[in-house]
Amino acid sequence: MMTQLMSWVSPALTAMMPLFVLACGMLLPTYLSRVKQSELERLATSYAGIERARGFQSAQQMADRFSVTHFIIPVAFTTFQVSILSFLTFYGARIDPLAKDFILGGADIVKGDYQNYAMLTLCTVSFAFLGAFIWMIQNLVTRIVSRNINPATFYAMSVNILLATTLAAVLHHIYHGGLDEVMGLPSASDKPSLLIVMAFLTGMAPDIMLDKLRRGLKFFRSEGEAPSMPLTTIQGISSFTAFRLKEMGLDGVQNLAQTNPVELYMMTPASIQTCLDWVGQAQLQLSFPDKAAALGPLGVRTMLDFHAMDDAILAGLTGWSAEQVANAKRRVDQTPSFASLKELNALLVGAA
């Protein structure tokens, strides 16, 4: 009975997994294109004069990217990738590995039992793919609810699957080579089940495993590397929101500070005021990294707050002289990204 059931389950799942990706990628864009256009129109209606803002026209061009034609290549690539990996997951164990290779067999395939080793490698890769696919479903469902899917979404998911499966294979080779203790990883010696669990979790969060491997390898460390400013330091940006912003090329506070808030509004479910707040926080952190954390609890959360505050009060909060405060504000005024932020904020406040 179980054998008969599995004979139906395997082909059904092998077909359904890529079809799910294809359906999401082809059916949603038409609907989302109308939604994004209506959001821009509603924004223009709610805030008179916002069409004159520097970033509004570029946001209109971005709305055109939600058409079906822009989704064809990324969706086709992701569907093909999922098709291959789903086939290997449910049918890979039935393939007799006649040709020896280093990808499945590792560096010492000439000395060990290649077939068993290769099958365990394929097993870890399969579980990493399952973890990545479950993460993909969660990601897509969340985006469907928030009406926030764009072509970059499918590229990001493809990269996530590729990274997860590659790391799973590397992870197996690391444990087989005895490098797990050297790199500070949990010991899985003679415990394939623990290795499979780690592969599945790698599929769910490959970035965490990649960071662990990088920190475990000394030659990846950079002594003079400048400290990064992750997006999660911005109030209101969760780890999931940060992942979505990475699809736009915003992988840190440095990039967010230069972003057009209207484009950010188009690409996220956040309100235009929230997008202004995020960009303003990023500009403050980037310009005054040593003062931003202390100024936040005192009511200076964004660059707009910093610029609007009285010089004397600001001098008392920062410990700067009046001349230093004036020079700081003058330097901020000369920044194009702040000028755009200030203009957009003035239009929103004036229309409120």
pLDDT at 153: 85
For residue 122, what pLDDT band results from cuts at 50, 70 and 90?
confident
Angle, vertex CA 234, rays to CA 231 and CA 236, nearest 5: 110
Q: Which residue, chain included where needed, has tokens 């202004």?
A: 276
Six token digits for residue 302: 């964004």
SS3 301: coil
Closest CA to 92 of 64, 120, 57: 120
d(CA 289, CA 281) in angstroms, rounded, equals 11
**Cα separation, 123 vs 46, whole angstroms:** 55
Task: Using the structure block, give the residue that is written with the tokens 């999660």.
Answer: 232
| Spatial contact of 128 and 200, defined as CB atoms under 8 Å apart | yes
Cα–Cα distance list, 284 to 238, 250, 277 (Å): 19, 17, 11
Instruction: Give me the amino acid identity at 71.
Output: F
Mean pLDDT for 251-273 is 84
260's tokens = 């057009």
Q: How confident is the model at residue 264 (pLDDT cuts 50, 70, 90)?
A: confident
pLDDT mean over 5-33: 81
Task: Assess whether pLDDT exceeds 70 at residue 93.
Answer: no
pLDDT, residue 272, reads 86
| pLDDT at 165 (0 to 100) | 92
For residue 225, give both structure tokens.
């590397």
